[in-house]
C-alpha cells in the first residue's frame, strides 16, 4: 500500500486517517554543494530517507510530497541555488500545518535534510502547535563528520558525499572532490558552528571560494550504506517515540 498521502482520494482520507495517524513532511533544499554533488543533495536526502523510514515503520504514518525550495540563502552567491526567504518558508510550513489540522491526523513531523532550515522549523513547531493544537516534531537527517574534518563536515563533506553515493551514485563526481576545512576555527572553544556557547552568522563562501565545508575526498560507498541503514533505523525508532510522546501523562491526542 502506498504511504503517500496524496495518493488517497479526498473522501477516503477522512475514513483512513485517525487521531493516531502521523503525517511526515520532507523538507529539502536546492543549493550549491560543490563540484562533486548535485544541487538536489538535501532534497534527495530528505525525500529518500523519509520514504525509507515511513515504509519501514509499522505505524500509521503518511508522507506528503517534499518541499524542494527552502531557506538556503547562505548559498545565494552560487548560481543554481534556488531559495525562498524565511518569511515565505515560515508562512508555507505554517499554512501546511493549517491544512493538516483539517484532517483527522493530530501529528505533523518535519523530516529535514538541510541544516539552514533547522532554526526556522523549530520556531514553526511552536507556531503551528499554538494555532492548531497539532503535535509537532522536527527530525533531521544528520551525517557524522569524517576524521579529517576537525568537526567541520557540515556541507558537501565526507558524510553527505558518502550518503549520496549510497542513494544516487550516478550523481556523484568523485574526481571533482576537494578538501575545504576551516582548520583555524578548531581552537575556538566559545565561538562554534552549532551547539557551542556562542553562535555566529555566516554564508557558505565565508570559508572559501568552493562553498564546501568538509572533506569529501574520504567519502566511500561502504560508509554511505552504513549511514543509510543507521539513518533509517534511527528514524523508525524516532517515529515510535513520537507516537508514544505526550506533553502530560495521559493526555489525549
Ligand atoms: Zn547538504
Q: What is the pLDDT of residues 179-199, one digit of tens each?
A: 999 999 989 999 988 778 999
Considering Cα of 66, then 68, then 72, then 78, what sign does the dihedral take? positive
Query: Which CATH number goes with the domain that contains 95?
Result: 3.40.50.10310
Distance 13 CA to ligand 1 centre (A): 34
The residue written with cell numbers 506528503 in the block is 64
Do the domain assignments include residue 193? Answer: no
Distance 49 CA to ligand 1 centre (A): 14
Distance 217 CA to ligand 1 centre (A): 16
Distance 110 CA to ligand 1 centre (A): 16
Percent of the chain with pLDDT over 90: 89
According to the model, what pLDDT value does residue 189 have? 93
Do the domain assignments include residue 198? Answer: no
H, E, C per residue of 108-159: EEEEECCHHHHHHHHHHHHHHHHHHCCEEEEEECCCCCCCCCCCCCCECCHH
pTM (global) more than 0.85: yes
Distance 104 CA to ligand 1 centre (A): 34
Distance 58 CA to ligand 1 centre (A): 29
Do the domain assignments include residue 192? Answer: no
Distances (CA, A) of 194 to 3, 59, 238: 34, 32, 22
Do the domain assignments include residue 253? Answer: no
C-alpha dihedral, 114 to 119 to 124 to 127, nearest 10°: 180
Do the domain assignments include residue 121? Answer: yes
Do the domain assignments include residue 249? Answer: no
Distance 40 CA to ligand 1 centre (A): 8
Do the domain assignments include residue 199? Answer: no
Length of the chain: 253
Give the C-alpha separation, 208 to 77, whole Å: 12
Distance 155 CA to ligand 1 centre (A): 5
Model confidence at 129, pLDDT cuts 50, 70, 90, reads very high
Distance 244 CA to ligand 1 centre (A): 31
Of 102 and 209, the structure prediction assigns the larger pLDDT to 102
How many structural domains are present in the chain? 1
Residue 108 has pLDDT above 80, yes or no: yes
Please give all residues whose CB falls under 5 A of ion ligand 1, grouped by chain where several chains appear: 41-42
Model confidence at 53, pLDDT cuts 50, 70, 90, reads very high
Containing structural domain, residue 73: 5-186+205-244
Amino acid at each position: 500500500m502506498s504511504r503517500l498521502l496524496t495518493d488517497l482520494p479526498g473522501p477516503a482520507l477522512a475514513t483512513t486517517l485517525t487521531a493516531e495517524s502521523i503525517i511526515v513532511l520532507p523538507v529539502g533544499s536546492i543549493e550549491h554543494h560543490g563540484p562533486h554533488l548535485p544541487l538536489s543533495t538535501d532534497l534527495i536526502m530528505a525525500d529518500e530517507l523519509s520514504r525509507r523510514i515511513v515504509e519501514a515503520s509499522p505505524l500509521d504514518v503518511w508522507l506528503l510530497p517534499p518541499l524542494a525550495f527552502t531557506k538556503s540563502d547562505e548559498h545565494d552567491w552560487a548560481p543554481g541555488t534556488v531559495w525562498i526567504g524565511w518569511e515565505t518558508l515560515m508562512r508555507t510550513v505554517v499554512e501546511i500545518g493549517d491544512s493538516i489540522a483539517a484532517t483527522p491526523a493530530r501529528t505533523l513531523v518535519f523530516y529535514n535534510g538541510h541544516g539552514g532550515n533547522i532554526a526556522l522549523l523549530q520556531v514553526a513547531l511552536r507556531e503551528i502547535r499554538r494555532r492548531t493544537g497539532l503535535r509537532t516534531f522536527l527530525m533531521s537527517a544528520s551525517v557524522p563528520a569524517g576524521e579529517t574534518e576537525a568537526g567541520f563536515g557540515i556541507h558537501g563533506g565526507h558524510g553527505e558525499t558518502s550518503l549520496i553515493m549510497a542513494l544516487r551514485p550516478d550523481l556523484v563526481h568523485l574526481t571533482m572532490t576537494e578538501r575545504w576545512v576551516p582548520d583555524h576555527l578548531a581552537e575556538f572553544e566559545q565561538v562554534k558552528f552549532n551547539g557551542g556557547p556562542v553562535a555566529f552568522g555566516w554564508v557558505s563562501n565565508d570559508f572559501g571560494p568552493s562553498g564546501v565545508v568538509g572533506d569529501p575526498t574520504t567519502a566511500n560507498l561502504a560508509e554511505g550504506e552504513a549511514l543509510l541503514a543507521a539513518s533509517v533505523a534511527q528514524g523508525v525508532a524516532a517515529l515510535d517515540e513520537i507516537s508514544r510522546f505526550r506533553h502530560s501523562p495521559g493526555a489525549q491526542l
